[in-house]
Structure 1
Amino acid sequence: MPHGPAEVGVGPWVGPWPTGEQYDARLLAEGDRRNVVDRYRYWSLEAIVADLDTRRHDFHVAIENWQHDFNIGTVVRTANAFLAARVHIVGNRRWNRRGAMVTDRYQHLRHHPDVPTLAGHLREQGVALWGVDNLPGSLPLETTDVPRRVCFLFGQEGPGLSAAAREACDATFSIAQFGSTRSINASAAAAIAMHAWVRTHADLSGDGAWRG
């Protein structure tokens, strides 16, 4: 590696082992090379998920998956970083997990066969369904008040939201662009929408917003 440490994470625990059900004996003995924040070093996967569940945010993310969109993995990784309540996969159940970089293990995922099923599920929980796509009549996300309980829905890379998705959404919102390209990458759009929620509703005080 031309930069940074040669190895990710930490080696075996030095000295007496810490006590607590959250610790994984194998990680303590062999080292923890996972890409997790320092707070979770040597914790078991189950303990990390349980702790995250006590702090998850109220927004959801959904993405249509009709053609095995390679962006889904990156969306899941970003959803984990911003602590989304859940990621919904609409359409094909299988998706390319490489971009998730193993973060799908820490993120709750749910599959729906189609958008109407997703919309019905969210409606039962009082969660608004917002489509994000640069469509005629879409409202600008930058000047819109983002509700606390919302699910951002994204379409396939290229075609964008399907006709069924547009029909099911409570509203559709666009992301301001100023260059020559008609659209931006779906995973980039998802990150922008999630961060809009974070800027409005997340607690950014204290040590809650970890930086590594």
Structure 2
Amino acid sequence: MTVDPAVGPTEWGESVGVGPWTGPWPDDPRYDPELLAGGDRRNVVDRYRYWTLEAIVADLDARRHPFHVAIENFGHDLNIGTVVRTANAFLAAEVHVVGRRRWNRRGAMVTDRYQHLRHHADVDGLLAFAAERELAVVAVDNGPGAVPIETARLPERCVLLFGQEGPGLTDEARTGATTTVSIAQFGSTRSINAGVAAGIAMHSWVRQHAAIS
């Protein structure tokens, strides 16, 4: 593993992360010799400083939450990177990209290295995955018949499904969902950004099911 080259000074001119390890090196296979020698400038929490990528992913895998996140990508949606980054922050089991396989990873800020990703060519593929693993599919959409997410009880094992920016969810996604929830809005706009909606929905799941410590 190598040090991330994409991380540099912050807007305040300070370096991100920590410098080379001082003192005797830890006798622990989770630590990366290159990072110990050169410093760890990655955007990771302190407990993972100097750890290898593989060790971090293994530790995350032992604690992942049982909710998944899916976003349709039939129009090359630019919000997917943000969704991946937020899913990593809330420790989602997987992020599913439905439609086009390619997506702009810039918004993920390298978190796609730590987050499991899965591609489905179409909605039917996602629904089959959910059915096989007994995951409820919760569509997030402000259409008719949606239940307010603020009052809804989200299933613990579920897929939170989002449409692409602009057209929203496809008819296939709405029809195949177990339930549909909406996010309360109070202004003039008809919809909110898909990346923002994903963050709100994931945090709603966390508030209901995650062990906060």
1:97-147, Cα deviation, whole Å (9 max, x unpaired): 000000000000000011111011111111000110110111111111111
- Aligned position for 2:77: 69
- Superposed structure 1 runs of 4+ greater than 2 Å apart: 1-5
Give the deviation of 1:3 after TM superposition: 5.7
- Aligned position for 1:33: 41
Task: Pick from 120, 125, 142 the counterpart of residue 128 of structure 2.
Answer: 120
Three-state SS of the structure 1 residue aligned to 2:150 is: helix
- Aligned position for 1:59: 67
- Aligned position for 1:174: 182
1:66-122, Cα deviation, whole Å (9 max, x unpaired): 111110000000000000000000000000000000000000000001111101111
Task: Pick from 77, 85, 90 the counterpart of residue 93 of structure 2.
Answer: 85
TM-score, scaled to structure 1: 0.94
Q: Distance in 2 between matches of 1:113 and 1:202?
A: 31
- Aligned position for 2:56: 48
Contact 2:127 2:176 in 1 (8 A): yes
Q: Distance in 1 between matches of 2:134 and 2:119?
A: 19
Contact 2:10 2:16 in 1 (8 A): no
Three-state SS of the structure 2 residue aligned to 1:42 is: coil
- Aligned position for 1:20: 28
- Aligned position for 1:8: 16
Structure 1 unaligned regions, length at least 5: 206-212
How large is the RMSD of aligned CA atoms in angstroms? Answer: 1.1
> 1:88 corresponds to which letter in structure 2?
H
2:200 equivalent to 1:195: no
> 1:18 corresponds to which letter in structure 2?
P
- Aligned position for 2:146: 138
2:191 equivalent to 1:183: yes
Q: Distance in 2 between matches of 1:133 and 1:154?
A: 7
Give the deviation of 1:52 after TM superposition: 0.2
> 2:59 corresponds to which letter in structure 1?
D
